[in-house]
A = this chain, B = another copy of it.
Amino acid sequence: MDIISVRDFSKEQVEEILSSAEKMEKKIGETQSSGKVVATLFFEPSTRTKLSFQTAASRLGMRYIDFFGEWSSLKKGESFTDTIKNIDGYVDIIVMRHPKEGSAKLASMIAEAPVVNGGDGGNQHPTQALLDLYTIKKLKGKIKGLNFNLVGDLKHARTMQSLMYMLAMFGAKVKLTSPRGLEMDPELVREVKEKFNAEIEENDKMDVEGVDILYACRIQKERFADPYEAMSVQKKFAIGMENLKGAKDDLAIMHPLPKVGEVDLEIDHTPYAKYFEQSKNGVPTRMAVLDYVLKHR
């Protein structure tokens, strides 16, 4: 099975992966053996996604080969199709990031090996959504009925689209808070509402009352024409202690990281801050993903 989009998953499949991740986490540090090889094929830089997949493969006893920086054949003019076919001939799983939307899907049609999408442009980042769900379940014991506030540039953040979809699937209540002009794609919101009969509400001011999970994301400066606008938006939607008045005691603040000013540094030292724990959960979640795609070939 390929993992391209959160839309490929049924609720049961997600639950299977989350429950496997829990078991994986307990085995971290144990010696494991496997003859499998994973390719981390990153056409765009990445720290967390790539390193956590490589760690996950290593924890499972698998090996990895890494494509970063080795653009030689692409420089020589090789087609995307040929590159994928070649790598496919070598390895058991392909983990891929690419700046173009749809490229992971395309790769999955070319390759025999399962393809795991590590982010395709502004489109999907399904394993981020999975590790987010895993984190929420660990923190709160459930997802259904929880109140979420997703804050930031919801237009460009691929992680937020995948996450909203998953939260709706699991019956959470979602508020979307974004600057004007950076709202979540309305088409997607409508579709998700209908499909899951979900409670999704949009507003343009931050509100933490009754919120269980406040989920912030990076303002993607590189996607703004005007850097000053980017900075002004970032400031207005940054989360500081002053925004947390009236927050629930067990409010959890999450962020896909890297964070660059969206969350005040002083929050790092409060029990609200769950983003480093969340990042750490990337390893067991991706162990479960690698294991899953091999088992469901």
Contact = CB atoms under 8 A, between A and B. Distances in A.
A45 B75 contact: yes
Nearest to A45: B72
Given A30-B35, A32-B35, A37-B59, A70 B47 contact: yes
A68 interface: yes
A257 B33 contact: no
Interface in A116-159: none
B29 A46 contact: no
A52, A58, A91 pick with most chain B CB within 10 angstroms: A58
B68 A70 contact: yes
A73 interface: yes
A-B pairs with lowest CB-CB distance, top 6: A89-B280, A45-B72, A78-B258, A58-B63, A77-B260, A73-B258
26 contacts: A29-B36, A31-B33, A32-B35, A37-B58, A39-B51, A45-B72, A46-B72, A47-B72, A47-B78, A47-B83, A50-B70, A51-B65, A51-B87, A51-B90, A54-B65, A55-B65, A55-B90, A55-B91, A69-B69, A73-B258, A76-B258, A78-B260, A82-B258, A89-B280, A89-B282, A90-B283
